[in-house]
Amino acid sequence: MKMRNSKGCFLAFTVFAGFIATAAMAQSQSCPTVRVKEGVLAGSCDAKVAAYKAIPYAQPPTGDLRWKAPQPPSPWKGVRQATEFSASCIQDLQRERLPWTKPFMTQNDMSEDCLYLNVWAPVTASKGKFPVYLFIHGGGNTEGSGEIPVYDGQNLATHGVVVVNLNYRLGFLGYLAHPELTAESAHHASGNYGILDQIAALRWIQENIAQFGGDPSRVTISGQSGGSADVHVLSASPLAKGLFTGAIAESGSSVPTASTTTLAQAEQAGVEVARKLGASSLAELRKAPASAFVPGGPAGKPGTLIVDGYVLPEEVMSIFAEGRENQVHWITGMQADEGSSQPTYGKIPANEFRKQVEARYGEMAKRFLALYPAETPDSQKQSARDRGLASMYLWATATAKTNKFPIYTYYFTEPTPWPEHPEFAAFHTSEIAFDLDNLDKVNHPYGPKDHEVSKTMSQYWVNFFTTGDPNGNGVPAWQPFDPNAPKTEEIGVNPGMRPLMSPEKLAFWKEYFNSPISRNTGVF
C-beta atoms surrounding 494 within 10 Å: 9
Q: Is the sign of the CA dihedral 233, 236, 241, 243 positive or negative?
A: positive
3-state secondary structure of 40: strand
CA-to-CA distance for 515 and 513, rounded, in angstroms?
Answer: 5
CA-to-CA distance for 24 and 30, rounded, in angstroms?
Answer: 8
Residue of 428, 430, 454, 458 with catalytic role: 428
Residue 232: active-site member: no
Q: Regarding beta strands 260-262 and 246-250, do their DSSP bridges make them parallel or antiparallel, or are they unpaired?
A: unpaired
Residue 338: active-site member: yes
Please give the torsion angle defined by the CA atoms of residues 360, 366, 368 and 369, in that order, rounded to the nearest 10 degrees: 110
Q: Which residues contact 258 (CB under 8 A, 6 or more apart)?
A: 228, 229, 232, 233, 304, 305, 316
Where on the phi/psi map is residue 140: left (φ > 0), alpha (ψ -120 to 50), or beta? left
Residue of 38, 147, 250, 338 with catalytic role: 338
Side by side, which strands form the sheet with 407-412?
Answer: 44-45, 49-56, 116-122, 162-166, 130-136, 214-224, 246-250, 329-335, 407-412, 487-491, 496-499
Q: Which residues contact 366 (CB under 8 A, 6 or more apart)?
A: none
CA-to-CA distance for 318 and 308, rounded, in angstroms?
Answer: 14
Residue of 30, 86, 222, 225 with catalytic role: 225
Q: Which residues contact 235 (CB under 8 A, 6 or more apart)?
A: 247, 316, 320, 325, 326, 328
User: Crossing angle of helices 226-236/193-208, nearest 10°?
Assistant: 70
Residue pair 112/62 in contact (Cβ under 8 Å)? The answer is yes
Nearest to 135 by CA among 162, 110, 108: 162
Residue 147: active-site member: no
Angle 255-258-262 from CA coordinates, rounded to 5°: 115
CA-to-CA distance for 345 and 249, rounded, in angstroms?
Answer: 24
Nearest to 193 by CA among 167, 211, 217: 167
Length of the chain counted residue by residue:
524
Nearest to 346 by CA among 454, 427, 243: 427
CA-to-CA distance for 289 and 110, rounded, in angstroms?
Answer: 13
Chain-centre distance for alpha carbon 499: 27
Angle 130-133-134 from CA coordinates, rounded to 5°: 145
Question: DSSP states of 458-494 as a string?
Answer: HHHHHHHHHHS----TTPPP-PPP-TTS-EEEEESSS
What burial letters (b/e) apply to 371-398, b meaning 16+ CB within 10 Å?
bbebeeeebbbbbbbbbbbbbbbbbbbb
Q: Which residues are catalytic?
A: 225, 338, 428
